[in-house]
Amino acid sequence: MVVVDQLWQKHQPLLQQACAALQARGHWTPYPEIPSGKLYGASAREEGEAAYQALPGSHFSLLGPAPQGVDGVEVSPYTGSLGISYDLYAAEDLVDVAKQGMPAWRDAGPQQRAAVCLEILERLNKRSFEIGHATMHTTGQGFAMAFQAGGPHAQDRGLEAVAAAWQAMSVVPATSHWHKPQGKHDPLVMDKRYHIVPRGVALVVACSTFPTWNTYPGVFASLVTGNPVIIKPHAQAVLPVAITVQVCQQVLAEAGFDPRLVTMAAEGAEVGIAQTLATHPDVKLIDYTGGNAFGDWLSEHATQARLYKEQAGVNTVLIDSVASMKRTAQNLAFSVSLYSGQMCTTPQAILIPRSGVSTDEGTLSYEQVCEYLCNTVRKFLSDPERAAGVLGAIPNPATIQRLQQASALGKVLLASEAHGIPGYEGALYRTPLILSVEGHDPVWQQEQFGPVSFLVAVEDSQEGLALIAETVASKGAITLGVYSTDEALLDQAEAVAVEQGVALSCNLDGAVFVNQAAAFSDFHATGNNPAANASLTDPAFVAGRFAVVQSRRHVAAREE
């Protein structure tokens, strides 16, 4: 297959760089995160926006089995109903077409599959502006974030998965020559072949908030190891997935493979296809991001498949002592505001000792730290343009309702405010609600998905760490932030992090935020607490997606 060989020639250097980056875990990415014409081409911005603008009100056509209907319910929190319709399929038919392309994809081997995956990622990167707008209007993220998280950062995670899977597959040689001495007798000699084979059909259940970032790792890890992939998007965030599947299908077809190796299982008003797919006997891999109800259901019912899941958690920050109260507060103000607290990495509870916090502005009481944080958040969000860009718009009415009811959960230190988003008539951004509660009040240990932050009064940092350990163990967490000028306390926090399996960020007071995880360097989740049973991207995330089948044949002495 000439085309695929060309793709391999083209992309092999990038794969090697990605593997080296994964081993070094420093900063690295081939996909620029800045939405700049200099990096993406002078006309990329306008072309991307125009491509997006052409979509609302149309039918988005993808390849798949025979459609059983069409539907589409996406509503942009900026511009209203998108009016985009998608084909609906029967679960059984989706599995059938997935299996049709599997043998040729399997037999193509890791190198050809990697080449195709890298080409898909390159084409996705070129459509980053269009994907950015699609992500903005389905998730509600501000455009800058939607571009980054939906485009290059998601592509980073996809490439990381390809590289990690490549490393895992490379442990197994294609052939071996087995030569066992037999003393005076002729040696026993065998030639052996080792085939990397897929597990079966892979299902990826996407979430509404990060339809590409949380989806690409599973999609590319499964695809590069030989498994066909069915992506089930959230009904509110289909478009970024649809564009992704379109690119996958185009590249697969050009490379001579069945384009329906990647399909989309859209839902409309009627839901339930995820359950049917997840328990299909031929579905052997499931990636899931979302709430605990379906996550727990999958663990219980989808026992025929290997399940990689990320669900709810309660992320915490402890402020023991700080080098700069101002920079600390600015950093946290951004962290709690970004995307209206709807990140799985957003800190929900900030624990502050009543014994006081040592700072460069003197020792501050619990109340003073609370006031400092609230004032910083207020000031940070005082400019509507910036506030709208950072907070975005919340598409899910349930999140808004939760926010409205949350005022009753503690003492309101900063009320949430709704303001119009400049340029989008009728669209609103909502500033975070900040509550003060006591450490022993379990209310802050429940996930409040959305712009709700708890400032939690604890006796001292030791009680804070103990409460954090308890919360991570029982509710799960993906991030933990600790501020301290005391090395011994940071070491203690690291021991808690290791014991509870949560990533620790210490003294973030610059332009790195606890909710950010950089591909090729940061692991996202650990799999060792209730928030997730998998990690982006550790060896366990990729190794289970393929099996090795060997064959062996005698080599006669004369042939040796």
List the one residue from 51, 73, 409, 504 that touches a second copy (CB under 8 A).
504
Residues 169-188 binding a second copy (CB under 8 A) are 171-173, 176-182, 188
List the one residue from 202, 398, 511, 560 that touches a second copy (CB under 8 A).
511
CA distances from 217 to 154, 224, 417 (A): 8, 11, 36
Spatial separation of the C-alpha atoms in residues 304 and 284, rounded to whole Å:
6
For residue 421, the cross-strand partners are 424
User: Least separation, in Å, of the C-beta of 534 and a second copy?
Assistant: 9
List the one residue from 194, 294, 297, 424 that touches a second copy (CB under 8 A).
194
User: Least separation, in Å, of the C-beta of 160 and a second copy?
Assistant: 12
List the one residue from 84, 501, 519, 531 that touches a second copy (CB under 8 A).
501
Residue 507 near a second copy by CB under 8 A: yes
Q: Which residue number, 339 or 483, has a Cβ lying nearer to a second copy?
A: 483
Sign for the CA dihedral angle at 77, 83, 87, 91 comes to: positive
428: helix, strand or coil: strand
Residues 197-236 binding a second copy (CB under 8 A) are 197, 199
User: Least separation, in Å, of the C-beta of 85 and a second copy?
Assistant: 38
Residues 44-103 binding a second copy (CB under 8 A) are 103
Residues 130-169 binding a second copy (CB under 8 A) are 164, 167-168
Residue 192 near a second copy by CB under 8 A: yes
Residues 13-52 binding a second copy (CB under 8 A) are 22-27
Contact 143, 132 (CB under 8 A): yes
The DSSP string of 173-215 is -SEEEEEEEETTEEEEEEEEEEEEEE-SEEEEE--SS-TTTTT
Stretch that binds a second copy, among 355-363, 380-388, 389-397, 491-499 (CB under 8 A): 491-499
Burial class (CB in 10 A: 0-12, 13-18, 19+), 47: middle
Contact 477, 313 (CB under 8 A): yes
Residue 466 near a second copy by CB under 8 A: no
Q: Which residue number, 27 or 66, has a Cβ lying nearer to a second copy?
A: 27
DSSP 8-class letter at 440 = T
Q: Which residue number, 103 or 442, has a Cβ lying nearer to a second copy?
A: 103
Spatial separation of the C-alpha atoms in residues 407 and 428, rounded to whole Å:
19
Contact 62, 242 (CB under 8 A): yes
Stretch that binds a second copy, among 68-76, 237-245, 258-266, 510-518 (CB under 8 A): 510-518
Residue 512 near a second copy by CB under 8 A: yes
Counted residue by residue, the chain has a size of 560
User: Least separation, in Å, of the C-beta of 353 and a second copy?
Assistant: 21
Spatial separation of the C-alpha atoms in residues 447 and 290, rounded to whole Å:
13
List the one residue from 96, 367, 371, 494 that touches a second copy (CB under 8 A).
494
User: Least separation, in Å, of the C-beta of 385 and a second copy?
Assistant: 21
111: how many CB neighbours lie within 10 A of its CB? 17
Residues 267-296 binding a second copy (CB under 8 A) are none
User: Nearest 5°: CA angle at 443, between 441 and 449?
Assistant: 155
List the one residue from 49, 371, 438, 538 that touches a second copy (CB under 8 A).
538
User: Least separation, in Å, of the C-beta of 324 and a second copy?
Assistant: 11
User: Least separation, in Å, of the C-beta of 433 and a second copy?
Assistant: 29
Residue 492 near a second copy by CB under 8 A: no
Q: Which residue number, 202 or 251, has a Cβ lying nearer to a second copy?
A: 202
Using the CB atoms, write b or e for 164-176: b if 16+ within 10 Å. bbbbbbeeeeeee
Residues 303-362 binding a second copy (CB under 8 A) are 303
Residue 462 near a second copy by CB under 8 A: no
With CB under 8 A as the rule, give the number of residues binding a second copy: 73
Stretch that binds a second copy, among 40-48, 268-276, 436-444, 506-514 (CB under 8 A): 506-514
* Token pair for 411: 């003492």
DSSP 8-class letter at 321 = B
Spatial separation of the C-alpha atoms in residues 514 and 346, rounded to whole Å:
7
Q: Which residue has the tokens 């006669």?
A: 556
Residue 195 near a second copy by CB under 8 A: yes
Q: Which residue number, 103 or 426, has a Cβ lying nearer to a second copy?
A: 103
Stretch that binds a second copy, among 237-245, 297-305, 414-422, 456-464 (CB under 8 A): 297-305
Q: Which residue has the tokens 């009753």?
A: 408
Nearest 10 degrees: CA dihedral of 338, 341, 346, 347? 110
User: Least separation, in Å, of the C-beta of 399 and a second copy?
Assistant: 29
Q: Which residue number, 182 or 272, has a Cβ lying nearer to a second copy?
A: 182
User: Least separation, in Å, of the C-beta of 350 and a second copy?
Assistant: 18
User: Least separation, in Å, of the C-beta of 100 and a second copy?
Assistant: 14
Residue 486 near a second copy by CB under 8 A: no
256: helix, strand or coil: coil
Give the distance between the most distant pair of CA atoms in the chain. 90
Q: Which residue number, 14 or 490, has a Cβ lying nearer to a second copy?
A: 490
CA neighbor of 97 nearest in space, from 245, 197, 303: 245
DSSP 8-class letter at 431 = P
CA neighbor of 387 nearest in space, from 317, 338, 350: 338
One-letter identity of residue 146: A
Sign for the CA dihedral angle at 136, 141, 144, 150 comes to: negative
Residues 395-454 binding a second copy (CB under 8 A) are none
